[in-house]
Amino acid sequence: MPIDEIAEGVLKVFGRIIGRVFIEVIFEFFCYWVGRIFLKTISFGKYPKDHFENELDSVCSIVGIIIVVSVIVLGAYLINK
């Protein structure tokens, strides 16, 4: 019994670590760059000026999430139309 409980605990920890890394990669890398490129495009290169500022990271990531979710919803709508 104790070996099963230890193995279960270890697997839960590894699962959480892998899930957390996956979420961080998606959010911090993909959504950040989608938002950054979108903001640069609509502001003609004026915003955001600097790379990796704390305030701009959040804005770029949030805009990226909005864009990614919008594209997924639009794609789902058009497929089911």
pTM above 0.75, yes or no: no
Tokens in use for 58?
């959040």
What digits encode the pLDDT tens for the residues 12-36? Answer: 888 889 988 888 887 778 888 898 8
* Residue 75: pLDDT over 90: yes
Q: Which of 2-11, 19-28, 58-67 has the highest mean pLDDT?
A: 58-67
The Cα–Cα gap between 67 and 60 comes to: 10
The Cα–Cα gap between 72 and 79 comes to: 10
